[in-house]
Every structure is written in structure tokens, then in C-alpha cells.
Amino acid sequence: MKETYRNGRTAFLFILPALLLILFIVFLPIVLNLYNSFFRWNSFEAGKTFVGFDYYVRLFKDPVFFTALKNNSLYAIISLICQVGGGIIIAAILEDKLIRRFQPFFRTVFFIPSVISIAVVGLMWQLIYNPEIGLVNGVLNVIGQSEWAHSWLGDSKTAIYAVVAVSQWQYTGYMTMLFLIAMQKIPMEYYEAAMIDGASKINSFFHITLPQIKEMILVGSVITVIGAFKVFDEVYVMTFGGPGRSTEVLGTMLYRSAFRNDEMGYASTIGTIIFIITLTLSLIQMKLGKSGQEVE
Amino acid sequence: MRTKILIVCMLMLALVITGCSSSTSSNEDESDKIVLKFLHKWPQPQYAPYFEEVVKEFESQNPDIKIKMEAIADEPIKDKLRVILGGSEVPDIMFSWSGEFARKFVRADAALDLTPYLEEDAAWKDSFIPASLQPFSSDGKNYGIPLRFNGKFFVYNKEIFDKHGLQAPKTWDEFLDVLDTLKEEGETPLMLGNESPWAAIHYLTGLNQKMVDQEVRMNDYNPRSGEFTDSGYVKAMEMLAELNEKGYFMDNVNSSSHDMVKQMFFAGKGAMFYVELEEFQDVENALKGNWGFFPMPSIADGNGSQKYITGAPDGFIVSSKTKHPKEAIEFLKFLTSKENSLKLVKDIGWPSPIEGATNPDTALKQVAEGVDYMKQAEGMAEWLDTDVHAKVADVYLSNIQLLLDGSKSPEEIIKEVQAVAKQVQSEVE
Amino acid sequence: MTILKNRIFQVIILVWFSLFSLVIIYPIIWLALSGLKTNSDFFLNTWSLPEEWVWENYKAAWDAGIGKYFFNSVFITVVSVVTVLLFGSMAAYGLSRFHFKGQNTLLIIILSGLMLAPQVSLIPLYKLLQAVGLYNTYGALIIPYVAFQLPFAIFLMRSYFLSIPRELEEAAIIDGCNRWKVYWNIVIPMGKPIIASCALLTAMNVWNEFMFALVFIEDSSLRTIPVGLMNLRSQLNTNFGIQLAGLSISALPMIIAYIIFQKQFVRGISAGGVKG
């Protein structure tokens, strides 16, 4: 039977439209980008000056680059714990017999933040974090912990955590949803059989649920980690990298170089580095997840 | 089945194409008209109508010219201008700040030299307050036409000042005394919303100008020769930091935006607020005559002129690629005509650079007084963030927040400024 | 004993989830309510009900162009989503059901599209779009949106298709169906839940995209909602009531669409009820 599936040309026809679009719109710019990173130029001037690897050398001496790298990694780690880890646990609880009655409601509510534009979410949270009129400090005062009240986004030590927290607020429900989809494909019989064998819920979770949703865990962690290195809108809207450069991420650093400092070449260099980092990370994750399994 | 997919694909393609063509078809019936693209930065509902009315009037007076107007808000336009200037569809007339922000477009040959047009029509040229044209010039040539003439002043809540028997200070020492009294009486002396750091940079704009000798400063602000080694720059930052350390500013300056803090000032939560002339109308609307204003006080040991006012005009540049320079100038003349300038002052309360347009009859009394201050000033200290090279500005902008949260010292910051100024020098031909 | 333990478990979880729900819903309701306030009311009584209900804010935001932008956003989102679903499911089918040389390379190429930060492509894409005359048209947004959304859609659909049993398809092929028929009549119907999910995820990203919409569109008559929203903000003088009303208008359609379509979103809600 396998023979009918070994028709490369038909397969190619199915893939072609998507492939062409991705090649021309997503990849061609990457190649141009690599080329651009060897020149000093700005968007409104005609000439380009060849600078070779100068920008790469400068990037690795730029302290802001390491701040950005640190912030991106922080983003990735916290998001993995909250969105992937938390998402799996919440999804598993929602699938539990005792809670499933309430699942539609909670699942709907938890997902809502992720359909709202980051422009909206960002401005909303700016106001919530505001030390004078904001809700966070208001709540802290009410519960008698006013000494914890803080200028969350305005302090260069806490700002990045405040920004990361908003992302968790926004996307944990999204991940939960992805895991729910995966868990609902697990045949009920598996759990029933385990129950008969006397396995506890926690046991079933580790021995049935987790292995069965492995593929989705991989997908989830890949998009979370890559998303963390691509992050831009959240920071742009809430702090634009400030105070100082404390919340700078690679995305905003690139944007600042390109459109505020008129250094398109430097921006292209940062773009190339983002590409290399995300490519490496996802290759590692794919290897770890051995998602090549379909090539039997 | 394959046909079904094909039909779907074609339908979608058709949709996209009709989508595209619908955007262009609207101009077709006007193909014999000259189309001028005009880009400004005031899309907000309170300002946009003014421009719509003026454009409509212009079109009815010039039936063969069609103005295609677009507006993009303050922050996004900084990015947008850079992108469109690199493209093939550059607007004929576009908004620009004065100073280095416009000069970098001049260096890139993106802006048209307007000097001949100004020379040709002396009446037009003379209608501008001279100080408003100067910041738009580079090497003695004019590249921009100002629409507004903006200054920066401290406004104060008269109720609070009267309660503590205070008066508008003239010197920096008096200013510090006033702040001290307010602080001791339990008021918040100064409101500042520095979430977008241009707010504190506007303080530093004036302080730099007052502390550093004019010639030295101009030399440093020029990207080709900037060094920033004068000790005045450090002192200027120290003075700003001192205002913060002594607790004269409100708490958490870095986490509120200017427009939010403004509402708090209007609600009486602070005594003084550093605002632009164009905001006076809002202050009047909220405080109803119960306020006064003064320029940045003079500093006894400053090396710069103490008779400068902080502020700058902003307005329009013409693209060097425009096919209709004559018509573009025609439109700019119309925009800055006495009649429309009076309308500008009256309708939206902005200070006009046209001689006599901002007078007590048309404008708020304080706005007219503010413009008088600027006319009598020896010169203008232009916004630091648009008057130095973008990279130098960026270092100042991001570090000023750290100066105010105490994590960086003036010396550390000036070192970074010097380093980037050096880098800029090597890159600007 | 077990019943009691289950009760306690249930109560703890319900309390925890309810609190979480509150943290999510409260700010959104606050946003919509704040859109009804005057500027000073907003700053003086930030977290209480409006003193007077200024419905004009919503009208003002709508008239300030949000209405027009709204329809642009709807059009662009619908066309992009349909295209992504079609091309994406085709590619996912091709990648999950066939074995051929270079398959892994193709997979990697497509999936690495996931890793590219769109900011990187901004300037080259801008020049590309101008060169082919698409700049400042709906196409200038739709085509990049489709291209950037495809990898994730393919990623999701492929892994779902892999998990669908193949017996039915193989039987259909024995019966003489060609692969297009198999794709259209078997794989697509079986893949409905993931297609619905992809539709929502794509719609969500397209609806909210900001950067391309800012740069690739010039005419205000073609602008989408997020860019329009930024235009309500001014550095010096923002009317927060109108601004927040505009934010609410842009957020509500997605929330409503999601609540309506969410039944499609996770498979087997009715089945779930039976299972419980």
C-alpha cells in the first residue's frame, strides 16, 4: 500500500503553493538580510559602504546585546515553565473527570487574553502597573502589603519581569488549549485500563498523558522558545526597551538600530544573529524530541 | 475536486486583485489633475479637521491640484519617514522636526532646497518670525517651512503658589528655593512623566544650552565634530539629578507617561509642570485662568547665554524627488498664509511662526506672551533629541531614565555619549 | 473517603481557577467600562464605575476611522485565513502522507520559517513589494501574512494528520480515489478540529499584526485597526476615554468570534460530556 504514497510529484504539487510563498516572502529577505549586514547604510540614503564583519565584531562587544540576550533567555525560561509546564497541568486538570463539567467555561476564559491585540493588552497593563493609579499597587494596599507596592515598569530591576508576566497572563491559556486538543485525542480506554490496574491519577498523568502528547509538547516548547527570541510587540508597546536599556530584547534592539539610529547594517546583523539562535535552538529541540519519527 | 480548489484559488486571487485595484481606481477620474501627496502627524480627532478644512479650501481654489493627505501619529512617524524616504513613492510634502532630524534628510539629498522659492517671494519669507526659519536651515540654505513655533515653559498652579505665597522664579537659585518651600509644605513640586524619555530630555535641552558655551555646544551637536568634553554637560545632568535626589520630582517618574501626568497636574496633584506652548490651551481648559508660566530660570554660573528659550519650530520638508515643486510650494504658502495661520491659532490653539498671527485677539493671552518670549530671545535651544545625531540622541534618551532612577551617574553617561559621538564622527562623511 | 477527597480536590481547583478567571476577566471589563469615562473621571476614579456614562466616546472612536479600519481588518483577515488554511492543509497533507526524496529538507525549510523574526524582513520586503507594485494595496498585507502564518499552520496540521489513522484513506485509494479526492473528502473532514484551531490562531495573529500594517500601507483608507489605534494616541494630549473605547472596539470582535467558534475549536465537547 505504501507504494501509492511514494509519488513525489503529487506530493510536491500539494506543497508547492506554500513552499513558494515561504521561499519568496520569508527566505529571500533573510538572504538579502545577510548580504545587507556587511554594509553601512540607512533606509533613505542611496549609497552603501562595505564594512565586512565590522558589525559582527561590534555586536559582540556591545553590552546591550548581552542584556538583550539575557532578557530573551529569561523570557524563554519563564515561558517554558509557565506556559508549557503550567499549560500541561491546567489542561490535565481540566480533563479530569471531576472538573470536566466546568471545562468549557474555564477553557474559554483562559484563552480570551490571547485573542486580544498586544497593543490593547500592553496599554491595559501599563495602566494596571502604574504606581499612582494602577490596580496592582491598589490590591497590595488593600491586602495590607503596601510595602510591596512598587513602580513595576519604571524600575530597571523589575521592568523585565513585569513585561514577562504579561506574556504569561496572555498566553498560558493558549498553550493550555493546544494541550487540551492533544489530550482529547488520547483514547479513554487507556485511562480505564490503568484505573482497573489501580494506577493513581498522578501515575496515569506521567505514564499515559505525557507520553501521548509528546508531539504537542515538542511543538509547544518550540514555539514558546522561538517566540521568546522573536518577542517584539510586548516590549515595544510597554517599555520600548526602557528604563534605560533594561528591558531591551533582540527584536527591539534590531528595531531601534534600524529605525531610530539609522543603522540598517547593524540591524541586519542583529537579524542574522536572531536567525542563527532560533535555528540552532529549534534544531536542538527537534533532535531531543526526535520528531523525525515519521520517516520510518 | 481539483477544479473546486482551482475555483477557490481564483476567487481569492480575484478578491485580492479587486482589493488592489479599488485602492487605485479612486484616482482615475482625476488623472488629469496634479496629485500632491501630503503627510503630516496629526491624525487625532481634535486636530485632523483643521487640516481637512484647509486642504479642501486649497483644492477649491486650485481645481487642477488634488491633495492626497495622510496622517500618522507622533511615535510611528519617526519610523515611517525613514522607510518611505527609501522607497519609490515618497510624499511630495512631509512633516519633519527641525534641526538634525531634518538635516539628516538634507545630507541624504532627500529634501529639496527651498531657498530659491523663499528668495523669490520676499513677502512670504518675511512673514515668518526669523528664529522659526533658522532651525530648518543647513549651510545657509532653507530646507523646511515651519508650521508651528513651539517653546517649552514651566506652568504652575496658581492656587498652590498663592497658598504658600510663592512667585514665579527668575533665577535657578530662586527656582530651587521655590521647590524647597513646596517640598517642605508637603506639595509635589514638579510633575514629570518620563516613561517616554523625551520628557526629561527637554529639561536637559535647556540645561545644556545654559551651561555650555554656544559655540562649543554647536560644535558638539554637529555630527561631524561632536566631542562632548565640556564639563558643562556633566553639570547639566547633575543639576537634573539633583532635582530628583532632593525629591522635587513626583515619585516614579519613569513609569508614567507625559499625557497621564498632565491629567494629574490638572487635577491639582502637583505645583509645576514643564510643557510646550501648544499645550497651553489644554492647561487653560482645565485650570481656567488659575495658572501662570515662566521660562527655564537663568543660571548664574552657566557658560551659555541665559537669554535663550528652549523650543523649536516643526513643519514640512519637500521631497527632492517631487515632480511638482511649484505646486508643493504653492500649497505650503497657502498653509502658512496669514489667514490660515490665524485659523490655526484660533481653531487648535497652536503657536504660529507667522509674524503677528499669534496675537492676544486670536490666541490665548499666555500663548501670545509665550511667542513674545521666543521673539525676544537671543536664540532657541532646540530639542536635544532632534538636534543631535540620532545615535547620540539615543544614548541620551535611554540613559536619562537611569540617571533619574539613580542607577547611572552623569560621568558614566557622558562617557558613553563621548564614545558614540566619536563613532558618529567617523561615519558621517 | 474517596468522595470526600474528590470534593476537596474539586473545591480547591474551582477556587484556584475562578481566581485565575477573575484576573483575566476583570481587566477586560474594566477596559470596556473605562472607554465610557471622561478624561478626568478616568484619572481620578480609575477603578470605579463611570461617573457619567459617555457613550459618545465609542461613537467618537468609531468615527475617528475605527469603523473604516474595522472593515479593512475583517477583509484582510478573512482572505488571509482562507488562504492559509487551503495552502497549509495541502502542504501538511503532502508532508504527512507521502515519502519522497528531499522530504526532510522541505520540512525543515518550511518549519524554519517559524523561526524568522518578521522584523528582519521588514526592509527587504518593503523594497520587494514596491518592486512588484503591491505596496500600498491589500495584497501588501495579505501575502506576507499568509507566508508568515503558513509554517505554524503546517506544523500543527502535519502533526495532527500524522495521528489520524490511515486505514480509511488506504481503503479509498483501493477504491480508485485519487489523492486530491482523498485530501478533500477524507483528510479535510477528519482534520476539522485542527483546521478550526488554525483558523482561529491565524485570524488572531493577522487581526493584531502591527508592524507590517504600519509600513506596507500608506492610504488611511486601507489601514487596519491596530495602526488606527496608535493614531488615537498622541504624546502630549491623549483623550484616554476615546483611546480605551477604540481599544475595546478592536478587542471585542475577536473575543466574540472566539466564543462563538470555540465549539469547533476543541473536538468532541458533546462526546466529552458523555465521557464524564
Q: How confident is the model over C84-125, as pLDDT tens digits?
A: 999 999 999 988 888 878 888 888 888 777 767 777 787 788
Beta strand pairing call for A39-40 and A49-50: antiparallel
Please tell me which of A75-89, A270-284, B261-275, C158-172 the model is most confident about, judged by mean pLDDT. A75-89
For C117, the grid coordinates are 523574526
Position C90 scores a pLDDT of 92
Distance from CA of residue B394 to its chain's centroid? 16
Position B54 scores a pLDDT of 93
Position B31 scores a pLDDT of 63
Decide if B83 and A43 are in contact by the 8 Å CB cutoff. Answer: yes
CA angle B407, B409, B415 (to 5 degrees): 120
The mean pLDDT value for B228-242 works out to 93
Position C270 scores a pLDDT of 31
Asked if A256 has any chain B CB less than 8 Å from its own CB, the reply is yes
Dihedral (Cα; A110, A114, A116, A120), 10-degree rounding: 100
CA–CA separation, C93 and A14 (whole Å): 7
φ, ψ of residue B138 in degrees (nearest 5): -140, 130
CA angle B106, B109, B113 (to 5 degrees): 65
Nearest Cα neighbor of B146 from B277, B312, B315, B311 is B315
Tell me which chain B residues have a C-beta less than 8 angstroms from the C-beta of A153. Answer: 195, 254-255
**Alpha-carbon dihedral sign for residues B156, B183, B203, C231:** negative
Decide if A244 and B83 are in contact by the 8 Å CB cutoff. Answer: no
Asked if B197 has any chain A CB less than 8 Å from its own CB, the reply is yes
Decide if B110 and A243 are in contact by the 8 Å CB cutoff. Answer: no
Residue B23 pLDDT level (bands cut at 50, 70, 90): very low
Higher local confidence (pLDDT), A275 or C237: A275
pLDDT at C243 over 90: no
Asked if C162 has any chain A CB less than 8 Å from its own CB, the reply is yes
CB-based burial of residue A197 (10 Å sphere; 0-12 exposed, 13-18 middle, 19+ buried)?
A: exposed
Position A293 scores a pLDDT of 46
Position B86 scores a pLDDT of 74
For A172-195, write each residue's pLDDT tens digit: 998 898 888 788 878 888 888 888
The mean pLDDT value for B366-387 works out to 89
pLDDT at B24 over 50: no
CA–CA separation, B397 and B388 (whole Å): 11
CA angle A248, A249, A250 (to 5 degrees): 125
pLDDT at A239 over 70: yes
Global ipTM:
0.81
Position B189 scores a pLDDT of 93
For B77-125, write each residue's pLDDT tens digit: 888 888 788 777 789 999 999 988 898 888 888 899 999 999 999 899 9
For B111, residues 6+ apart whose C-beta sits below 8 A from its C-beta are: B96, B102, B105, B143, B144, B317, B318, B319, B320
Position C269 scores a pLDDT of 32
The mean pLDDT value for C35-54 works out to 80
pLDDT at C65 over 70: yes
Position A289 scores a pLDDT of 67
Decide if A275 and C20 are in contact by the 8 Å CB cutoff. Answer: no
Position C265 scores a pLDDT of 59
pLDDT at B181 over 50: yes
Q: Searching chain B, which residue's CA lies closest to the CA of residue A260?
A: B390
Distance from CA of A152 to the nearest CA of B (A): 8
Distance from CA of A247 to the nearest CA of B (A): 11
CA–CA separation, C204 and C209 (whole Å): 9
Nearest Cα neighbor of C20 from B201, B403, A89, A204 is A89
Neighbors of chain C with 3 or more C-beta pairs under 8 Å: A, B
Tell me which chain B residues have a C-beta less than 8 angstroms from the C-beta of A32. Answer: none
- The residues in C 41-100 lying below 8 A from B, measured between CB atoms, are 42-44, 60, 63-65, 75, 79, 82-83, 86
Q: Searching chain C, which residue's CA lies closest to the CA of residue B261?
A: C43
Mean pLDDT of chain C: 82
The mean pLDDT value for C65-82 works out to 90
Residue B155 pLDDT level (bands cut at 50, 70, 90): very high
Tell me which chain C residues have a C-beta less than 8 angstroms from the C-beta of B286. Answer: 40
Position B248 scores a pLDDT of 93
pLDDT at B17 over 70: no
Distance from CA of C170 to the nearest CA of A (A): 7
Higher local confidence (pLDDT), A93 or B45: A93
Matching residue, cell 540617571: B403
Tell me which chain A residues have a C-beta less than 8 angstroms from the C-beta of B82. Answer: 42-44, 259, 262
Least confident of A39-43, A156-160, B7-11, B264-268: B7-11
Q: With beta carbons less than 8 A apart as the criterion, state whether A245 and A200 touch.
A: no
> By percentage, how much of chain B surpasses pLDDT 70?
93
3-state class (DSSP) for residue C117: coil
For B388, the grid coordinates are 543631535
Higher local confidence (pLDDT), C192 or A248: A248
Nearest Cα neighbor of A243 from A153, A151, A123 is A153
φ, ψ of residue B315 in degrees (nearest 5): -175, -135
| Cis status of the peptide bond prior to A243, with omega within 30 of 0 | yes
Q: Which of B105, B254, B427 sits opposite A151 (nearest CB)?
A: B254
Cα separation values, A15 from B9, B398, C107, C199, Å = 15, 47, 10, 19
Decide if C138 and B20 are in contact by the 8 Å CB cutoff. Answer: yes
pLDDT at A219 over 70: yes
Decide if C231 and B87 are in contact by the 8 Å CB cutoff. Answer: no
Look up residue B214 and give its amino acid.
Q
The mean pLDDT value for B210-237 works out to 92
Kind and range of the H or E run holding B149: strand B144-157
Position B429 scores a pLDDT of 67
Tell me which chain B residues have a C-beta less than 8 angstroms from the C-beta of A259. Answer: 78-79, 82-83
Nearest Cα neighbor of C82 from C142, C22, C20, C152 is C142
Higher local confidence (pLDDT), C1 or B230: B230
Higher local confidence (pLDDT), B329 or C118: B329
The mean pLDDT value for C115-138 works out to 81
Position C56 scores a pLDDT of 84
Distance from CA of C20 to the nearest CA of B (A): 26
Distance from CA of B23 to the nearest CA of C (A): 7
Residue C264 pLDDT level (bands cut at 50, 70, 90): low
Least confident of A159-163, B82-86, B388-392: B82-86
Q: Searching chain C, which residue's CA lies closest to the CA of residue A187?
A: C275
Decide if B252 and A129 are in contact by the 8 Å CB cutoff. Answer: no
Position C263 scores a pLDDT of 67
Position A36 scores a pLDDT of 86
Position A163 scores a pLDDT of 94
- The residues in C 200-259 lying below 8 A from A, measured between CB atoms, are 200, 204, 207-208, 210-211, 225-226, 229-230, 243-244, 247, 250-251, 254-255, 257-259
Higher local confidence (pLDDT), C226 or B173: B173
pLDDT at C79 over 90: yes
Look up residue A198 and give its amino acid.
G
Q: Which of A130, A245, A259 sits opposite B82 (nearest CB)?
A: A259
Mean pLDDT of chain B: 87
Tell me which chain B residues have a C-beta less than 8 angstroms from the C-beta of A126. Answer: 195, 257
Decide if A263 and B391 are in contact by the 8 Å CB cutoff. Answer: yes
Asked if A285 has any chain B CB less than 8 Å from its own CB, the reply is no
The mean pLDDT value for C55-64 works out to 83
CB-based burial of residue B57 (10 Å sphere; 0-12 exposed, 13-18 middle, 19+ buried)?
A: middle
Asked if C165 has any chain A CB less than 8 Å from its own CB, the reply is no
Matching residue, cell 539629578: B241
> By percentage, how much of chain B surpasses pLDDT 90?
47
